[in-house]
Amino acid sequence: MPKVGMEPIRRAALVEAAIATIGETGSLDVTVSQIAKRAGMSSALAHHYFGGKDQIFLAAMRQILRDYSAEVHKELAKTTRHDQRAEAIIRANFADSCFDPSAVSAWMTFYGQAQTNADALRLLTLYQRRLRSNLIHALRGRVAEPEIGAELLAALIDGLYIRVALTAPDEDAEAKAFAMLAQLTGDTQ
Amino acid sequence: MPKVGMEPIRRAALVEAAIATIGETGSLDVTVSQIAKRAGMSSALAHHYFGGKDQIFLAAMRQILRDYSAEVHKELAKTTRHDQRAEAIIRANFADSCFDPSAVSAWMTFYGQAQTNADALRLLTLYQRRLRSNLIHALRGRVAEPEIGAELLAALIDGLYIRVALTAPDEDAEAKAFAMLAQLTGDTQ
Amino acid sequence: MPKVGMEPIRRAALVEAAIATIGETGSLDVTVSQIAKRAGMSSALAHHYFGGKDQIFLAAMRQILRDYSAEVHKELAKTTRHDQRAEAIIRANFADSCFDPSAVSAWMTFYGQAQTNADALRLLTLYQRRLRSNLIHALRGRVAEPEIGAELLAALIDGLYIRVALTAPDEDAEAKAFAMLAQLTGDTQ
Amino acid sequence: MPKVGMEPIRRAALVEAAIATIGETGSLDVTVSQIAKRAGMSSALAHHYFGGKDQIFLAAMRQILRDYSAEVHKELAKTTRHDQRAEAIIRANFADSCFDPSAVSAWMTFYGQAQTNADALRLLTLYQRRLRSNLIHALRGRVAEPEIGAELLAALIDGLYIRVALTAPDEDAEAKAFAMLAQLTGDTQ
DNA sequence: AATGAATGAGGATTCATTCAT
DNA sequence: GATGAATGAATCCTCATTCAT
């Protein structure tokens, strides 16, 4: 057991533990000690590596976004047909991994944080910009005004996500987003 | 200065102060003392009337929902034409009062709370059910499947609200919701 | 046991406890808890009344200076002869109370604090200004240049105090200061 | 790059870094890590060489005293006339190097430390004894009672130093000490 | 010789909550 | 009805110190 080069390992463990703890608790009201204990180290070490609670949270958020991006890319890679890209994005947004309690909690608290924490807001904005530009690209050629269509679809995705994640876990959000897409593209269902 | 019958006045003052304080802080990280001071009384009294912090928050949320409902009813009352009801609901959801920092903060923290706090979740579900049923009613006769249309429109409203409230304060969310409605009803703009 | 009007009592108790604790420890490395416990209350209450550790220390320093001032006035009040005032001031500066371990500790840490803490520096300057002006007044008519004489005598008093307080507890500093005064006034001893 | 014989170099670097850090901070509230980093090594190594924080401080104090002694000897070496020695000592005590922020800080914290730390007290006593014996020697033949004169002058030097270092950086302490010396020796200026 | 890793202990501060008046 | 008094519990963070490599 080498005692060198632990930093990335510890950081990753802490980020994972942070997400898990937030997920279990359902809020940001988790202590550094809880996270550190779950990650198998002292809270002092957590501070040593991250500098403070906020930065642990921020790292966790970045991880969530990375995971989400990976999901999107995975789905996009599955198809080569351009007219299937929007569907792929929708599928990614409603993948099971997105409804993992940890992810839901992190995401919701994320929205809360964005009001106070500039870094959180920046990350959130980044996510939204990416989703929007992905959708614009995917809708080009399929709808008359891709910008507007993307905006609507993006908002719908966020809105459906919240509904399903919070209040209606059993609904098929994906199907609804597909319906909306059909509506936008004028396809007959 | 009568010393009796103060309860409702005190409670209202506390609820108002709670909303204002949450709005200013941008999070639920506000102390009972802050709220009580703003309401012009001791924190002990706040506890006396509400029993605890959580219940103050809950009362504040109820108030927010009441305000929101009032806005909806006000808009609905402005028109007698049934085919204007959906528009009225949209207008209510994007009224200036909904973008008041206090309201945004309360609403976002609400989403966060809903994961842990059963009462918060119940209130949130209530809101969503009401919005949905209002929309179903409003869309009846205008779209083929009012249930699905309502679902889409509701999700879109929530999604647009989050976007605009958090990351794009200058965008015209109302116009987009109208566009979506036109899309659903098949109206040419 | 009335439960109202405790603030001044608590504050006084804390200040006294702070001085005593600093005296016992011999440094500013004392915890708020220690002070609070000695004063018979929780550390939370200490914070409640003073706002923070620094302010407790500051209050303690003010108390030390008040005590010192009282000593000076007491000695000055003992004589009506103007040509005895300098002697009175010297006596006050070397009164037993000034060599109380608590006072010595507080005074020394005071010097240390003055470099970092603006308030501490202000208090220290105040003390020095007062001593100087007292001495100028007392030397007027007895020496050719009261300002310079006062400066010298004041420095000598501080210097002797430090020596005696720290390294030579058994020396008679007062006698030396009298010798210096005689030197300045040209009196034959 | 030889790996042997580093000890004295490391120790010297740490001592210098300690003095500089104390000077910058204005207090003893500096961490071993800060000192070690400034000295270009890990805090673990600092511990390895010195055994603990206290010993680093002590070494720093010894260095300060060494520097001070060097200043005294330098000034004494400049003159061969015995009746100029007292002046030389005074000049050394108010040399610019003595008012270097680092030195002032170290010196003041020194006074504070002396109450708790036996080693610090020993060093301080050593300094005072040396100053006193230097002055006695220098005053022999110039004043009737060199012992008393030395005592007075030593106290005056310390007192003036504190005043000037802490509260009146622009005053000419040296001139005042000269005035006092003239007073003692009965010289007309 | 040198260091990154790791922690235990502690400390200031905050706050919801209770209680005597 | 109302409040000042009071606190226990908790939390973030710091730091000297130790140890394996």
pLDDT tens by residue, D86-136: 999 999 999 998 888 888 888 888 888 888 888 889 999 999 999 999 999
Size of interface C-D (CB pairs under 8 A): 112
Distance F13 C1' – A21 CA (angstroms): 20
Residue D17 has pLDDT above 70, yes or no: yes
3-state secondary structure of B184: helix
pTM summary value: 0.90
Query: Tell me, what's the pLDDT at C110?
Result: 81
Of the partner residues B111, B124, B152, the one whose CB lies closest to the CB of residue A111: B111
Whether C5 CB is under 7 Å from strand E: no
Report whether A173 contacts A94 (CB < 8 A): yes
| CA distance linking residue A133 with residue A121, whole number of Å | 18
CB contact under 8 A, C27 and D124: no
Q: Which of B158, B161, B170, B178 to mutate to test the interface with A (most CBs of A within 10 A)?
A: B158
How far are the Cα atoms of B43, B46, B85, B133, D146 from residue B40, in angstroms, in the given order? Answer: 9, 10, 41, 40, 72
What count of other Cβ atoms lies within 10 Å of the Cβ of residue D52?
11
| CA distance linking residue B70 with residue B63, whole number of Å | 10
Of the partner residues B108, B112, B156, the one whose CB lies closest to the CB of residue A156: B156
The torsion region of residue C171 among left (phi > 0), alpha (psi -120 to 50) and beta comes to beta
Which nucleotide's C1' sits nearest to the alpha carbon of B54?
E16
Chain A residues with CB under 8 Å of B28 CB are: 112
Mean pLDDT per 10-residue section of chain A, whose length is 189 residues: 81 97 90 98 98 96 94 95 96 92 85 87 93 96 93 94 88 91 76
Report whether B86 contacts B77 (CB < 8 A): no
Q: What is the dihedral sign for C-alpha B89, B90, B95, B98?
A: positive
CB contact under 8 A, A151 and B115: no
For residue D155, what is the nearest residue in chain C, using CA coordinates? C159
Report whether D163 contacts C128 (CB < 8 A): yes
Query: Tell me, what's the pLDDT at B102?
Result: 84
Q: Which residue is nearest to nucleotide E7 (CA to C1')?
A: A42
Q: What pLDDT tens digit does each residue of chain B (189 aa) get?
A: 445 678 999 999 999 999 999 999 988 899 999 999 999 999 999 999 999 999 999 999 999 999 999 999 999 999 999 999 999 999 999 999 898 888 888 888 888 888 888 898 999 999 999 999 999 999 999 999 999 999 999 999 999 999 999 888 888 999 999 998 998 888 654
Which nucleotide's C1' sits nearest to the alpha carbon of D47?
F17
CB contact under 8 A, A116 and B180: no
Distance F9 C1' – A11 CA (angstroms): 29
CB contact under 8 A, D155 and C148: no
Distance E1 C1' – D1 CA (angstroms): 12
How far are the Cα atoms of A149, C87, C126 from residue C133, in angstroms, in the given order? Answer: 82, 15, 11
Residue D188 has pLDDT above 60, yes or no: no
Q: What is the CA radius of gyration of chain A?
A: 19
Query: Tell me, what's the pLDDT at A95?
Result: 93
Give the residue ranges of DSSP H helices in C28-171.
32-38, 43-50, 53-77, 85-93, 101-113, 118-139, 146-162
Query: Tell me, what's the pLDDT at C3?
Result: 67
Whether B53 CB is under 7 Å from strand E: yes
Of the partner residues B159, B166, B179, the one whose CB lies closest to the CB of residue A159: B159
Query: Tell me, what's the pLDDT at A187?
Result: 67
Cβ-based burial of C60 (10 A; exposed 0-12, middle 13-18, buried ≥19): buried
CB contact under 8 A, A155 and B156: yes
Query: Tell me, what's the pLDDT at A2?
Result: 47
Query: Tell me, what's the pLDDT at B162?
Result: 92
Helix C101-113 vs helix C53-77: angle between axes, to the nearest 10 degrees?
Answer: 120
| CA distance linking residue B110 with residue B124, whole number of Å | 8
| CA distance linking residue B168 with residue B173, whole number of Å | 9
Distance F4 C1' – C7 CA (angstroms): 9
Which nucleotide's C1' sits nearest to the alpha carbon of B45?
F2
Report whether B14 contacts B50 (CB < 8 A): yes
The single-letter DSSP state of residue A99 is: G
Distance F9 C1' – C34 CA (angstroms): 18
The minimum CA-CA distance between D3 and chain C, rounded to whole Å, is 39
- Stretches where chain C sits below pLDDT 70 are 1-3, 187-189
Average pLDDT, chain D: 91
CB contact under 8 A, D166 and C124: yes
Chain D residues with CB under 8 Å of C151 CB are: 176
